[in-house]
């Protein structure tokens, strides 16, 4: 099986995941107590029988399940995720407008988490049981146990309120009307607190995993061979231990992405970052089910595409991978 | 067994963690006896600081006793954490055992389902589930169990795959034992230690997830939990630090002690460390 | 003397089964000489090699003695100086070449890394040298190998790469730590020949660690026999092999299977077990793909009488284990018949098969994985009878009897497997199989994980049990010498097919096929032991 076939297969898998996500969404709609008509009637403020009937007819809710499912699928396929109750706009355009902000924040957090985590993990793995190892292990356990939203609030309290070093809210300074580089700098400044808050948890898990992977690799025979060659310890660690330990971390990045989206919902919320996460919160508060489902569908597709990318990356870094 | 117990308590940090966890459990169990009036009763002026007369931990935005809220919150956290982990471990064992033992197409199919649940953003799915089921304690538990089982399933499948190939399992087959007996008496007991470790880790992360849901207002509206205490005090954070700091510390202490315990459990049960 | 080890003592970490890994060990290696250290597992032979290399595992510390290399005490060398000696003056090759090569780095890089660690030359020049070296160790098309990954090579090729790497800086001492133990016998013969040839060409010294007296006979100039961290005897190869002085050496040499004592009572009558045209193909891949198929067993037939042992001999990948697993229905054969007393069990549904299962039992290879670590010996060996509804008390009573038969004390019933040695565990495994009073016993490499002295005892026991219980035994092994010890008839397999079969004596004295001849020729120490 060559690489192209492999990628093709992963693409099919991604498509299947997407289809399953959409089916799940449809199931959710059907499962919810009351249908869309009740909700809309509730929002309209009154609900007599004929009004409900007309609404149901208008939205095709009186048709057989099969027909409804087909309609739903073809609508989603055309990018029609329905209309947001609260915003009275197409769900997709509402999401797409917010998406770049979330992608920016998440990419920043993931980059910091991976780089910092691998660095800390390799320090810890160099001498298992040493003080450095103990510090990294304890810190990663601590960040594992702190609720992310609460960490965000504490960070905000300390760095934005008490120390007044960094802006506490939003993506840019309101009313400042910066342009060009100044604006980019302003956004970057706003991104530091939410970005680091988001990154810390994942950094902790990366540090932990890197440490375990490196300690495991260090016990293998080929590391002894490397030492027997007479290369320096530094070269042994970099070329042989780290090189092999990084392989499982690539796959892990894919799995992390799905958790990162969840963290993003919370952290964006705390820092009023105008991304998809805050939108999800608005959807929950406003009982805006189409918007919530739309966010679920869009983020699922994005995460499974990211997993596709890490799968391909994995097949590139590990020559042993049987592309299947 | 005794050896594992001794190994478990070999580090002083474990004893501290264990003591903290036991204390939290005791507080949770004793809450209705200590504070019969319940967490929603208004006892005085809002936002009184800790140490105010009769208020060990101060009062919240509505003038409710924070200490009572913290004690009752422990009930919700532990209940949700343990119940949803049991659910997740149950589903995970079922999926993982069947996939790992029978292999082939069954395995392929079950693993695709597992992968699906791992790839999609679990917290967003959880929000969707709870929002559509209407927020309640049951919805929270079911939701968390439904998004956390894949991790268990993977561990169980891995264990079953490697144990299935071990010669003592093959020997059991040649002796004429039935599949169900082989799974229950030969494989499962040997797969239990890692399952126990994942399960105990999961209690901690389920508590975190529950707090996040409640923070967003997706918890059971009739129950006070640590997450909803923080969520409800967001506006007061600037003037009354204790309203958000204390419940956060409570979550952290619970999860941290649990993670310490499962970490030591891992060391104590890991046969590679036993000589 | 190139190397002179004097009074070397190294301590094991606390909690190990003995305090010292190496105890007051003295050993010399002259220029241009091959010294073999031979011993059973846990003798400290490998530790000694690692001590010379300065690569003792964490927790093992030298507590006394000297290792003089060309007059310099290596134990006093600063780490950086020792690193510079490693690979340049002293090189080492290991037991499992697959594990010893970095799986994600191409061969070329792995060879040049060693050269460039000690010489200031460009990658290009180093690659040129690598091609020469790979050619010197008999690898074909070395230039193409530079870009290959270890998993794309065969076991023999990998060990050749390791040897090429070790030779790259013309070391004065080569340490070979069981370099052929993970290889098939024909490959082993080639690698041994290669090491010997290179040693002669380059006039270097070799410290060769092995557990196999056959290998010692083929390789050594001088021999040191180790036991529990000490050298019990030390001398030229002729002294040690022909006039061993120490009783332990004597016992070790006596335990080596010589392939000369094949039992001579070929039973007659209708076959108890008959396999006809059995085939098994493994298909790989999943829901969306198939990655080709491997025919592991290809149209194999055999017969087995009561009281008879049939040996199935072959190298790895010959299909011998797959065949055994198809016969006992741990695997489902694709086609063919397995007749047990005339009843075909090859395709039988599991419900009907269950009562018949007890008639064919198996002894497994790995004594450490063949017993459930969480069950007591009593539970393990009565599991079979209990699965057939036998009453526990009755089963336990019979267990006592069977344990005596396999030479174990019946009082062990409430102990756990980890309390026993490898040889004892194999006896327990045998007892478990015998509890069902089978007609056919399949022994799948039952002694290959055991030390040679224990190996001899277990082989003897198997033969006794076969005789007392009048069993038909299917004996799977990779070792021609072992097969010749216990089998009435031998069947040689290669790539899933039967190469030839016949009575043991006939087959060994006049093999018909070239392959069998090469297998026999590859037996280490042949004619010397």
Domain-wise residue ranges, chain C? 1-89+173-255, 97-170, 269-359+442-529, 367-437
Q: A318 and C99: CB-CB below 8 Å?
A: no
pLDDT higher than 50, residue B85: yes
A104 shares a domain with A60: no
A27 shares a domain with A175: no
Q: Check: CB of residue C164 under 8 Å from CB of residue C134.
A: yes
A55 shares a domain with A178: no
A97 shares a domain with A48: no
Q: B121 and A296: CB-CB below 8 Å?
A: yes
Residues of C in contact with B191 (CB under 8 A): none
A124 shares a domain with A60: no
pLDDT attached to residue C293: 79
> Worst-scoring range by mean pLDDT, A162-171, A223-232, B181-190, B217-226?
A162-171
A255 shares a domain with A122: yes
Q: Tell me the count of A-B CB pairs closer than 8 A.
A: 136
Q: Which two tokens stand for residue C325?
A: 């697993």
Q: pLDDT tens digit string along C359-387?
A: 999 999 998 899 999 899 999 999 999 99
With tokens 């004597």, the residue in question is C250
Q: A154 and B248: CB-CB below 8 Å?
A: yes
pLDDT higher than 80, residue A3: no
pLDDT attached to residue A39: 62
User: Would you say residue A322 lies in a domain?
Assistant: no
The reply to whether A319 touches chain C by the CB within 8 Å rule is yes
Question: Could you tell me where the beta strands, DSSP code E, fall in C255-359?
Answer: 273-283, 293-304, 309-313, 335-340, 343-344
Q: Which of A280, A287, A289 sits opposite B124 (nearest CB)?
A: A280
Q: Which of C287, C370, C388 sits opposite B171 (nearest CB)?
A: C370
pLDDT attached to residue C287: 46
Q: B176 and C371: CB-CB below 8 Å?
A: no
- Alpha-carbon distance B219 to nearest alpha carbon in chain A (angstroms): 12
The reply to whether A57 touches chain B by the CB within 8 Å rule is no
Among residues A34, A53, A77, which one ends one of the domains? A77
pLDDT higher than 70, residue B270: no
Whole-angstrom CA distances from C346 to C193, C311, C327, C328 are 44, 21, 7, 9
> Which chain B residue lies closest to A262 (C-alpha atoms)?
B123
The reply to whether C285 touches chain A by the CB within 8 Å rule is yes
Asked whether this chain's domains C1-89+173-255 and C269-359+442-529 adopt the same fold, the reply is yes
A284 shares a domain with A175: yes
pLDDT attached to residue B273: 42
Average pLDDT score over chain C = 91
pTM: 0.85
Q: Quote the number of domains for chain A.
A: 2
Provide, rounded to the nearest whole percent, the portion of chain B with pLDDT above 90. 59
pLDDT attached to residue A297: 94
pLDDT higher than 50, residue A315: yes
Q: Which residue has the higher pLDDT, C66 or A88?
A: C66
Average pLDDT over residues C5-17: 90
| A residues 193-252 closer than 8 Å to C (CB) | 220-222, 224-232, 235, 239-240, 243-244, 247
How far is Cα C456 from Cα C454, in angstroms, rounded to an integer?
5
Residues of A in contact with C105 (CB under 8 A): 239-240, 243
The reply to whether C383 touches chain B by the CB within 8 Å rule is yes
Domains and CATH numbers, chain B: 2-274 (1.10.3720.10)
User: Would you say residue A285 lies in a domain?
Assistant: yes
**Phi, psi (degrees; rounded to nearest 5) at C253:** -65, -40
pLDDT higher than 90, residue B269: no
User: Would you say residue A67 lies in a domain?
Assistant: yes
Q: Which two tokens stand for residue B230?
A: 């923080």
A159 shares a domain with A65: no
Q: Which two tokens stand for residue A157?
A: 């309290």
Domain span at residue A251 reads 92-317
pLDDT higher than 70, residue C37: yes
pLDDT higher than 80, residue C437: yes
Q: Which of A222, A227, A231 sits opposite C99 (nearest CB)?
A: A222
Q: Is the ipTM of this complex over 0.85?
A: yes
Cα torsion C387, C391, C393, C395 to 10°: value is -50
User: Would you say residue A207 lies in a domain?
Assistant: yes
Average pLDDT over residues C156-177: 95
User: Would you say residue A262 lies in a domain?
Assistant: yes
How far is Cα B249 from Cα B220, in angstroms, rounded to an integer?
21
pLDDT attached to residue C317: 87
The reply to whether B255 touches chain A by the CB within 8 Å rule is yes
User: Would you say residue A82 lies in a domain?
Assistant: no
Among residues A49, A77, A105, which one ends one of the domains? A77
The fold of C269-359+442-529 is Rossmann fold (3.40.50)
Report the run of H or E that residue C4 belongs to, with start and end: strand C3-11
| A residues 222-281 closer than 8 Å to B (CB) | 254-255, 258-259, 261-263, 265-266, 269, 280-281
Confidence label for A324 from pLDDT (cuts 50, 70 and 90): very low
A114 shares a domain with A142: yes
pLDDT attached to residue A321: 64
A309 shares a domain with A267: yes
Superfamily of domain C1-89+173-255: P-loop containing nucleotide triphosphate hydrolases (3.40.50.300)
User: Would you say residue A323 lies in a domain?
Assistant: no
Confidence label for C11 from pLDDT (cuts 50, 70 and 90): very high
Q: pLDDT tens digit string along C38-92?
A: 999 889 999 999 999 999 988 899 999 999 999 999 999 999 999 999 999 999 9
DSSP result, C337-360: EEEETTEE-TT--HHHHHHHHTTE
> Worst-scoring range by mean pLDDT, B42-46, C206-210, C289-293?
C289-293
pLDDT higher than 50, residue C130: yes
Q: pLDDT tens digit string along B100-148?
A: 999 889 998 999 999 999 989 999 999 999 988 889 999 999 999 999 9
A97 shares a domain with A58: no
Among residues A77, A109, A135, which one ends one of the domains? A77
Average pLDDT score over chain A = 86
Q: B171 and C328: CB-CB below 8 Å?
A: no
A304 shares a domain with A164: yes
With tokens 């208020």, the residue in question is B55
């Amino acid at each position: 099986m060559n690489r192209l076939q492999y990628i093709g297969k992963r693409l099919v898998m991604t498509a299947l995941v997407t289809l399953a996500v959409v089916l799940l969404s449809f199931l959710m709609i059907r499962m919810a107590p009351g249908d869309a008509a009740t909700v809309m009637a509730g929002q309209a403020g009154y609900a007599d029988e004929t009004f409900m009937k007309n609404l149901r007819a208008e939205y095709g809710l009186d048709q057989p399940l099969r027909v409804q499912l087909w309609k739903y699928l073809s609508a989603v396929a055309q990018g029609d995720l329905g209309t947001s109750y609260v915003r009275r706009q197409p769900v997709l355009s509402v999401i797409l407008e917010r998406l770049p902000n979330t992608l920016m924040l998440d990419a920043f957090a993931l980059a910091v988490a991976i780089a910092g985590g691998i660095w800390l993990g390799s320090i810890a793995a160099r001498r298992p049981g040493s003080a450095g190892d103990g510090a990294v292990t304890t810190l990663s356990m601590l960040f594992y146990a702190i609720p992310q939203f609460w960490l965000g609030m504490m960070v905000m309290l300390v760095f934005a309120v008490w120390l007044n070093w960094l802006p506490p809210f939003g993506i840019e300074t309101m009313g400042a009307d910066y342009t060009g580089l100044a604006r980019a700098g302003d956004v970057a400044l706003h991104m530091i607190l939410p970005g680091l808050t988001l990154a810390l948890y994942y950094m902790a898990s990366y540090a932990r995993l890197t440490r375990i992977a490196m300690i495991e690799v260090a016990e293998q025979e080929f590391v002894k061979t490397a030492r027997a060659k007479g290369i320096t310890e530094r070269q042994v660690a970099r070329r042989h231990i780290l090189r092999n330990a990084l392989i499982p971390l690539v796959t892990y990045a894919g799995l992390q992405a799905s958790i990162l989206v969840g963290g993003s919902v919370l952290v964006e919320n705390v820092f009023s970052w105008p991304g998809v996460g805050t939108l999800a919160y608005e959807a929950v508060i406003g009982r805006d089910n189409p918007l919530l489902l739309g966010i679920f569908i869009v983020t699922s597709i994005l995460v499974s595409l990211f997993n596709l990318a890490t799968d391909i990356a994995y097949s590139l870094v590990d020559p042993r991978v049987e592309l299947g | 067994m005794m050896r594992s117990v001794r190994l478990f308590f070999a580090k002083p940090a474990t004893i501290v963690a264990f003591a903290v966890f036991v204390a939290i459990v005791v507080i949770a169990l004793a809450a209705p006896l200590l504070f019969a009036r319940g967490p929603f009763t208004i006892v005085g002026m809002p936002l009184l600081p800790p140490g105010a007369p009769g208020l060990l931990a101060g009062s919240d935005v509505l003038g409710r006793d924070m200490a009572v809220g913290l004690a009752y919150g422990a009930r919700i956290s532990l209940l949700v954490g343990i119940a949803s982990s049991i659910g997740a471990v149950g589903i995970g064992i079922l999926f993982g055992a069947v996939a790992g033992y029978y292999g082939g197409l069954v395995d392929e199919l079950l693993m695709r389902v597992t992968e699906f649940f791992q790839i999609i953003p679990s917290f967003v799915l959880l929000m969707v589930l709870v929002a559509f089921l209407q927020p309640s304690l049951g919805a929270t538990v079911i939701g968390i169990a439904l998004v956390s089982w894949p991790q268990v399933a993977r561990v169980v499948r891995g264990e079953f795959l490697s144990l299935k190939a071990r010669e003592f399992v093959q020997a059991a087959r040649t002796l004429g034992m039935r599949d169900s007996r082989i799974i229950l008496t030969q494989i499962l007991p040997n797969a239990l230690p890692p399952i126990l470790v994942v399960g105990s880790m999961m209690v901690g992360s389920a508590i975190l997830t529950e707090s996040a849901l409640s923070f967003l207002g997706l918890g059971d509206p009739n129950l006070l939990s640590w997450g909803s205490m923080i969520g409800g005090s967001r506006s007061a954070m600037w003037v009354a630090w204790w309203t958000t700091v204390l419940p956060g510390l409570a979550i952290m202490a619970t999860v941290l002690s649990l993670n310490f315990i499962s970490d030591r459990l891992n060391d104590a049960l890991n046969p590679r460390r036993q000589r | 003397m190139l190397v002179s080890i004097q009074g070397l003592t190294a301590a094991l970490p606390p909690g190990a089964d003995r305090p010292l890994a190496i105890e007051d060990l003295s050993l010399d290696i002259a220029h241009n000489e091959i010294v073999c250290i031979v011993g059973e597992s846990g003798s400290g032979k490998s530790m000694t090699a690692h001590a010379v290399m300065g690569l003792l595992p964490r927790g093992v510390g030298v507590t006394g003695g000297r290792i003089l290399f060309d007059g310099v005490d290596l134990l006093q060398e600063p780490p950086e100086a020792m690193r510079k000696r490693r690979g340049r003056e002293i090189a080492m090759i290991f037991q499992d070449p697959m594990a010893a090569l970095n799986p994600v780095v191409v061969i070329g890089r792995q060879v040049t890394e060693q050269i460039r660690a000690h010489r200031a030359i460009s990658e290009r020049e180093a690659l040129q040298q690598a091609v020469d070296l790979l050619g010197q160790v008999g690898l074909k098309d070395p230039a193409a190998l530079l870009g290959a990954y270890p998993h794309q090579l065969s076991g023999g090729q990998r060990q050749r790469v390791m040897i090429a790497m070790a030779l790259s800086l013309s070391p004065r001492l080569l340490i070979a730590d069981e370099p052929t133990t993970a290889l098939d016998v024909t490959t082993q013969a080639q690698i041994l020949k290669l090491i010997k040839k290179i040693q002669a060409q380059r006039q270097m010294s070799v410290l060769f660690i092995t557990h196999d007296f056959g290998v010692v006979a083929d390789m050594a100039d001088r021999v040191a026999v180790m036991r529990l961290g000490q050298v019990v005897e030390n001398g030229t190869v002729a002294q040690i092999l022909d006039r061993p002085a120490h009783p332990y050496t004597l016992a070790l040499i006596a335990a080596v299977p010589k392939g000369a004592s094949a039992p001579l009572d070929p039973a007659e009558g209708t076959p108890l077990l008959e396999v006809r045209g059995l085939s098994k193909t493994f298909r790989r891949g999943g829901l969306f793909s198939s990655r080709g198929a491997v025919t592991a067993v290809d149209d194999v037939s055999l017969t087995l009488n009561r009281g008879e042992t049939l040996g199935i001999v072959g190298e790895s990948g010959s299909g011998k284990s797959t065949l055994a697993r198809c016969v006992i229905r741990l695997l489902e054969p694709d086609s063919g018949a397995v007749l047990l007393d005339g009843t075909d069990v090859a395709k039988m549904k599991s419900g009907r098969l269950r009562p018949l299962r007890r008639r064919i039992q198996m002894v497994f290879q790995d004594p450490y994985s063949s017993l459930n670590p969480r069950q007591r010996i009593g539970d393990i060996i009565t599991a079979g009878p209990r699965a057939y509804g036998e009453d526990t008390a009755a089963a336990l009573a019979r267990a006592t009897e069977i344990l005596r038969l396999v030479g174990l004390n019946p009082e062990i019933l409430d102990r756990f497997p980890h309390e026993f040695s490898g040889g004892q565990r194999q006896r327990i495994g045998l007892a478990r199989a015998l509890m069902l009073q089978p007609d056919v016993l399949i022994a799948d490499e039952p002694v290959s994980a055991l030390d040679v002295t224990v190996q001899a005892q277990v082989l003897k026991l198997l033969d006794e049990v076969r005789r007392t219980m009048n069993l038909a035994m299917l004996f799977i092994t990779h070792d021609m010498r072992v097969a010749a010890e216990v089998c009435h008839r031998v069947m040689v397999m290669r790539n899933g097919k039967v190469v030839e079969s016949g009575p043991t004596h006939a087959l060994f004295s006049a093999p018909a096929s070239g392959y069998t001849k090469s297998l026999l020729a590859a037996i280490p120490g042949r004619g010397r032991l």
